[in-house]
Amino acid sequence: MELVSRNVALAMNSSPTAYLHNTCAGIIGINTYKTPVRILVRGDDDQTEHLELVFGHQKMADAGASKLTKNKDYGEVLTEGYTTSAQVHPAP
């Protein structure tokens, strides 16, 4: 369940994309599932960096994104006790 909630939060906090045009109520065709998706970092500095889903074959620079750094927290603390922070851990 935790994985589902993390993916939903990541999707909701990602920028809209033309790759998902006309999919707000569901996906009918298989081509949408064939679209490459990456998790990349967007933001100007440590204060605004956050994780987003990036669709398609765009180069990172063209997507305004960069690679993740292992063991780094991303996001920002909204209020005490609540956070949007996510940490990237090395794969087992």
Pairing mode, strands 73-74 and 82-83: unpaired
Residue 55 has pLDDT above 80, yes or no: yes
Q: Is residue 33 part of a domain?
A: yes
Q: Is residue 64 part of a domain?
A: yes
Amino acid at 85: S
Q: Write down the pTM of the prediction.
A: 0.68
The per-residue pLDDT for 90 is 54
Range of the domain at 78: 2-87
Q: Is residue 12 part of a domain?
A: yes
What's the pLDDT tens digit per position in 16-41?
Answer: 888 888 887 888 888 888 999 988 88
Counting the structural domains of the chain, the total is 1
* Lookup: tokens for 91: 């794969």
pLDDT mean across residues, the chain: 78
The per-residue pLDDT for 23 is 82
Q: Is residue 92 part of a domain?
A: no
Q: Is residue 51 part of a domain?
A: yes
CB-CB contact of 43 with 63 (8 Å): no
Residues near 60 by beta carbon (within 8 Å), at least 6 away in sequence: 40, 66, 67
